Amino acid sequence: MAPGETVLVLGPSGSGKSTLTLCLDGLIPHVVEGEYTGRVTVAGLVVEDGPVHLLAQEAGLVFQDPEAQFCTLTVEDEIAFGLENLCRPPQEIEAAIDRSLASVGLPGYRARRLATLSGGEKQRVALASVLAMGPRLLVLDEPSANLDPRATSELFGLLRRLAAGRRHTMVIIEHKLDELMDWVDSVLVLDAEGRLLYRGDPATAFYEWGEVLSGAGVWRPETVELVEALRRAGWDVPGSPLDVAGTIDALSATPGLVERLRSSTYAGTDTSGRRLRRGGGPASGRDSVLEARGLSYRYRGGGAPSEALTDVSLSVRRGGFLAIAGRNGAGKSTLASLLTGVLEPPRGTVFLEGRDLTEMPAAALSERVGFVFQNPEHQFVTDTVRAELAFSLSPRAGRKGARQLTAEQRSRVDTWLDRLGLLALAEANPFALSQGQKRRLSVAAMLIRGQSVLVLDEPTLGQDESQAAGLMAMMEDFRAGGGTVVMITHDMRLIAQHADELLVLAAGRSVYFGTPADFFSRPGLVERSGLAVPALGRVSVGLHLAEGTPLGLLSVRAFVGDAGAGAAVERREERCR
């Protein structure tokens, strides 16, 4: 890597991305034991020979979870920590604290306690505490994974400025590619076995190696997926655009495309690719499965006097997909807990299939509503994968073994094991599974009883492309069978692609309830609620402003649906005739 270069590292989970970051910092081989061959040189220091304290000055690491990298209680102590370890004199440390806080845009945060900071602020303090040591190499391991969309774009804005300064060489691991595309210099791709698959410029990676990358379970920018899909439909999109601005230019320059979009059959406001339900608007009383009316909630005790939720109403129809979005701390998890009866809602506010939740016995409730927690491990209650599924059907069988199950139940467990691809691991401990397998098992343990509503709390967190796709496929299957999905997520792309209703919370209040397409075509509201328009939404807006095409094209499907077959395909069809 050249000095000042910014390199994006991609690979499916388990491909060794994090291992690579540890090698760059000398933690491997100096701290983490293992078999080590080859040679890493950072800023002229051979890592396996270099003393750790010199390496720590040259290479700074920022991890995924800010909480798991702090070791003190206040901002200033945290930033001082590394410099103290390097035996720097106190005056120099004081100056470095102010300097690095200013460089991450947090002046005046010196004396703040870390526990009182938001996730975004914590991550910036983590960055400041690394920058204070003056590293020439910055290594960031999914720094935005735990952040909400606003905090993510603030962090990326900061990193973009650092990258532009060219004083730091940056290695960044990220899933949220669309935000990175305009400032990453090159891409490095690892395959599932941890071998180097590709190293070079991003355009070549995503356009010429696209199939290989998708095959390896690597996320691709949505803009690239759009261009490729349009090309497959016969449109002659020029160049290989990566960022939003480049994609708008390329689509404008595509012969005939803009005209076609302008004259599209469902131009106007109703332009989500997934056509609006006839009658439009949220599901009303009769066909709704799950409903909340004027729901307010306040936690008892704990000294927090403010309401966690204030006057929230929503309804989801059978087979629907409701996404719940909002900043961290907006009340999303509280709402999910109330909808599932984990917390008891006030009488007369939450209704399942028309019945007040507070009047339903716990068993009846858990037969109808499943709740998938953020961390799958928290939900495991037995010692084997098979018992985990058996437990859902009969707690007795979960404890005493599958012999307690009826033949029908046993075959249901086997069917699910097969569907999850876990037949070979049926006797393994759930904790020993991969992240993706754990996630799917935790969902399956909820679905196997035939619940009609499934509520999920950020289920795609930390999942790679193919794992997330596997989960969403399960959701689509479930909905096809009449199941209803309620999902908390920070992933705007997922909302645009899958959800048909969106509830946005801000400070415990509902600020929007309706279709995602409508929400994302109101940039002011998106901004105020601390969310972000997904890349294709921004392409859609840009194209609308420049060329007058309709707004609200949020997904590849929507674009391709509106554009129809391109000139090239039509020519081919003519020839056939």
Partner 1 sequence: MKPAGYLDQRNPCIKLLAVVLAALSLTFIFDPVTPAVLFVITLAAGRFLGGLSLRSQIKPLWIFVIAGVAILLANIFFNKENATSPAILSLGAVKVTGPALWAAGTLWLRLMSFALFSLVFVKTTEPQHLILSLIHQLHLNYRVAYGTLVGYRMLPTLQSDYQTIRAAHRVRGVREAQGLLHIWSRFRRYAVPLLTGAVRRAGRVALAMDARAFGALPGRTYRERIVVRRSDWVFLAAVVAALAVVVAGLWMIGITRFTIE
| Of positions 19, 118, 252, 366, contacts partner 1 by CB under 8 A | 366
H/E stretch holding 389: helix 385-393
Among positions 115, 164, 304, 546, the unique one binding partner 1 when judged by CB under 8 A:
115
Which stretch, 158-166, 175-183, 288-296, 370-378, contacts partner 1 (CB under 8 A)?
A: 370-378
Among 41, 53, 353, 411, binds partner 1 (CB under 8 A): 53
Smallest gap from residue 385 Cβ to partner 1 (A): 14
Interface with partner 1, residue 337, by CB under 8 A: yes
Task: Give the burial string for 511-546 (b: 16+ CB within 10 Å, else e).
Answer: bbbebbbbbbbeeebbeebbbbbbbbbbbbbbbbee
Q: Are 561 and 272 in contact (CB under 8 A)?
A: no
Contact between 392 and partner 1 by CB under 8 A: the answer reads yes
If one asks whether residue 81 binds partner 1 (CB under 8 A), the answer comes out as: yes
CB 325 within 8 A of CB 502: yes
Applying CB under 8 A, does 378 fall inside the site for partner 1? yes
* Half-sphere exposure in the Cβ direction for 141 (13 Å, CA): 21
Helix (H, G, I), strand (E, B) or coil at 232: helix
- Determine the interface stretch with partner 1 among 216-224, 322-330, 334-342, 479-487 (rule: CB under 8 A): 334-342
3-state secondary structure at position 92: helix
- The answer to whether residues 357 and 331 touch, using CB atoms and an 8 Å cutoff, is no
DSSP H or E stretch at residue 443: helix 435-447
Work out whether 32 is an interface residue with partner 1 (CB under 8 A). Answer: yes
Q: Which of 90, 157, 421, 548 binds partner 1 (CB under 8 A)?
A: 90
Q: Does 576 bind partner 1 (CB under 8 A)?
A: no
Burial degree of 203 (CB within 10 A; 0-12, 13-18, 19+) = middle
Binding status of residue 511 toward partner 1 by CB under 8 A = no
Is position 380 an interface residue for partner 1 (rule: CB under 8 A)?
A: yes
In the complex with partner 1, the residue whose CB is nearer, 101 or 506, is 101
The 3-state DSSP class for residue 17 equals helix
Q: List beta partners, residue 108.
A: none
Select 101 or 258, whichever has its Cβ closest to partner 1.
Answer: 101
Contact (CB, 8 A) for 100 and 92: no
User: Is there binding between residue 404 and partner 1 (CB under 8 A)?
Assistant: no
Tell me if 74 contacts partner 1 by CB under 8 A.
yes
Measure the CA–CA gap between 331 and 298, rounded to whole angstroms.
11
Contact status, residue 210 vs residue 224, Cβ threshold 8 Å: yes
Residue 93 in contact with partner 1, rule: CB under 8 A: yes
**Which one of 85, 406, 415, 434 is in contact with partner 1 (CB under 8 A)?**
85
Strand stretches in 96-166, DSSP E: 137-141
Instruction: Tell which one of 3, 51, 157, 421 touches partner 1 (CB under 8 A).
Output: 51
Question: Binding residue for partner 1 (CB under 8 A) from 129, 334, 484, 529?
Answer: 129
Rounded to a whole number, what is the distance in angstroms from the first to the last CA of the chain? 54
Q: Are 319 and 351 in contact, with CB atoms under 8 Å apart?
A: no
Phi-psi region of 369 (alpha: psi -120 to 50; beta: other; left: phi over 0): beta
Please, what is the minimum distance in Å from the beta carbon of residue 417 to partner 1?
Answer: 18
Nearest distance in Å: CB 554, partner 1: 32
Query: Is position 142 an interface residue for partner 1 (rule: CB under 8 A)?
Result: no
Half-sphere exposure of 305 (CA within 13 A, CB side): 0
The identity of residue 218, as a single letter, is V
Which CB atom, from 32 or from 164, has the smaller least distance to partner 1? 32
Q: Select from 15, 23, 77, 389 the one that contacts partner 1 (CB under 8 A).
A: 77
# of chain residues touching partner 1 (CB under 8 A): 63
* Site for partner 1 contains 409 (CB under 8 A): no
Indicate whether 428 belongs to the interface with partner 1 (CB under 8 A). Answer: no
Phi, psi angles (nearest 5°) of residue 168: -120, 140
Q: Give CA separation, 18 vs 7, 21, 25, 61, 221, in Å.
A: 14, 5, 11, 11, 21
Ramachandran region, residue 341 (left: φ > 0; alpha: ψ -120 to 50; beta: rest): left
Q: How far is the CB of 107 from partner 1 (least distance, A)?
A: 18
CB of 120 to partner 1, least distance (A): 18
Q: Which of 183, 391, 416, 512 binds partner 1 (CB under 8 A)?
A: 391
CA-CA distance, 438 to 227, in Å (whole number)? 34
272: helix, coil or strand?
coil
448 binds partner 1, rule: CB under 8 A: no
Selected range binding partner 1 among 60-68, 117-125, 201-209, 517-525, rule: CB under 8 A = 60-68
209 in contact with partner 1 (CB under 8 A): no
Measured from the CB atom, is 97 or 413 closer to partner 1? 97
Which one among 19, 57, 204, 404 touches partner 1, defined by CB under 8 A?
57
Cis peptide before 29 (omega within 30 of 0): yes
Q: Which is nearer to partner 1, 91 or 265 (CB)?
A: 91
Which of residues 80 and 226 has its CB atom nearest to partner 1 in the complex? 80
H-assigned helices in 234-306: 244-252, 257-262
Among 119, 202, 217, 370, indicate the residue that binds partner 1 (CB under 8 A).
370
- 70 near partner 1, rule: CB under 8 A: yes
Residue 239 tokens read as 């160049």
Distance of CA 476 to the CA centre of its chain: 18
Is residue 13 part of the contact set for partner 1 (CB under 8 A)? no
Q: Note whether 364 binds partner 1 by CB under 8 A.
A: no
Query: Is 63 among the residues that bind partner 1 (CB under 8 A)?
Result: yes
> Which among 67-75, 221-229, 290-298, 558-566 is the span making contact with partner 1, rule CB under 8 A?
67-75
> Which H or E run contains 56?
helix 52-58
Q: Name the 3-class secondary structure at 510.
A: strand
Cβ nearer to partner 1, comparing 213 with 448: 448
Asked if 86 interacts with partner 1 (CB under 8 A), we say yes
The site for partner 1 (CB under 8 A) is made up of 22, 25, 27, 30-32, 51-53, 56-57, 59-61, 63, 65, 67-74, 76-77, 80-90, 93-94, 97, 115, 129-130, 133, 337, 340, 342, 363, 366, 370-371, 373, 375, 377-381, 391-392, 395, 431, 445
